[in-house]
Amino acid sequence: MTWKPISSAPKDGTWIMLGIVGRKEILLAYWHRLHQAWWGQSGSTGEWEKWQKATHFQPLPEPPKETDNGR
Protein backbone atom coordinates (compact mmCIF):
# COMPACT_ATOMS: atom_id res chain seq x y z
CA MET A 1 0.00 0.00 0.00
CA THR A 2 1.09 3.54 -0.58
CA TRP A 3 0.47 6.65 1.47
CA LYS A 4 -2.14 9.02 0.04
CA PRO A 5 -2.71 12.72 0.76
CA ILE A 6 -4.92 13.32 3.80
CA SER A 7 -7.21 15.47 1.66
CA SER A 8 -8.48 12.28 -0.02
CA ALA A 9 -9.07 10.33 3.23
CA PRO A 10 -12.59 8.99 3.82
CA LYS A 11 -14.64 10.91 6.36
CA ASP A 12 -17.44 8.35 6.66
CA GLY A 13 -16.32 6.60 9.86
CA THR A 14 -13.96 4.19 8.09
CA TRP A 15 -10.90 3.31 10.19
CA ILE A 16 -7.59 4.20 8.49
CA MET A 17 -3.90 4.67 9.33
CA LEU A 18 -2.76 8.28 9.67
CA GLY A 19 0.81 9.45 9.16
CA ILE A 20 2.68 12.72 9.51
CA VAL A 21 5.62 13.50 7.22
CA GLY A 22 8.88 13.20 9.16
CA ARG A 23 7.49 11.11 12.04
CA LYS A 24 7.99 7.38 12.50
CA GLU A 25 4.60 6.62 13.98
CA ILE A 26 1.08 5.98 12.80
CA LEU A 27 -2.36 6.30 14.32
CA LEU A 28 -5.33 4.06 13.68
CA ALA A 29 -8.16 6.55 13.42
CA TYR A 30 -11.47 7.55 11.90
CA TRP A 31 -13.11 10.90 11.17
CA HIS A 32 -15.32 11.79 14.13
CA ARG A 33 -18.36 13.51 12.68
CA LEU A 34 -19.40 15.26 15.89
CA HIS A 35 -15.93 16.65 16.68
CA GLN A 36 -15.00 17.18 13.01
CA ALA A 37 -11.56 15.72 13.74
CA TRP A 38 -9.49 12.54 13.45
CA TRP A 39 -10.09 10.25 16.43
CA GLY A 40 -8.11 7.16 17.37
CA GLN A 41 -6.40 5.15 20.09
CA SER A 42 -4.13 8.00 21.15
CA GLY A 43 -6.08 10.72 19.39
CA SER A 44 -8.29 11.24 22.42
CA THR A 45 -5.35 11.68 24.84
CA GLY A 46 -2.67 14.36 25.07
CA GLU A 47 -1.56 13.77 21.49
CA TRP A 48 -4.93 14.60 19.98
CA GLU A 49 -3.81 17.93 18.49
CA LYS A 50 -0.75 16.40 16.83
CA TRP A 51 -2.87 13.98 14.80
CA GLN A 52 -5.09 16.77 13.52
CA LYS A 53 -2.00 17.70 11.49
CA ALA A 54 -1.82 14.32 9.73
CA THR A 55 -0.48 14.65 6.20
CA HIS A 56 -1.14 11.18 4.77
CA PHE A 57 -3.29 8.08 5.21
CA GLN A 58 -3.55 4.45 4.16
CA PRO A 59 -6.52 2.08 4.27
CA LEU A 60 -6.23 -0.68 6.86
CA PRO A 61 -5.06 -4.02 5.49
CA GLU A 62 -7.42 -6.99 5.51
CA PRO A 63 -7.36 -8.81 8.87
CA PRO A 64 -5.82 -12.30 9.03
CA LYS A 65 -8.06 -15.14 7.99
CA GLU A 66 -8.39 -18.42 9.87
CA THR A 67 -6.86 -21.46 8.25
CA ASP A 68 -8.19 -25.00 8.44
CA ASN A 69 -6.15 -25.73 11.58
CA GLY A 70 -7.25 -22.53 13.37
CA ARG A 71 -3.91 -20.73 13.08
List per-residue pLDDT tens for the chain, 71 residues long: 799 999 999 999 999 999 999 988 889 999 999 989 999 876 455 677 788 899 999 999 999 988 766 66
DSSP state of 37: E
Listed residue (49, 47, 24, 29) closest to 39, CA to CA:
29
pLDDT for 55: 96
Question: What is the pTM (predicted TM-score) of this model?
Answer: 0.80
pLDDT for 34: 93
Using alpha carbons only, give the angle 33, 29, 55 rounded to the nearest 5 degrees: 95
pLDDT for 9: 98
Cα–Cα distances (Å) from 37 to 9, 44, 51, 61, 70, in that order, read: 12, 10, 9, 22, 38
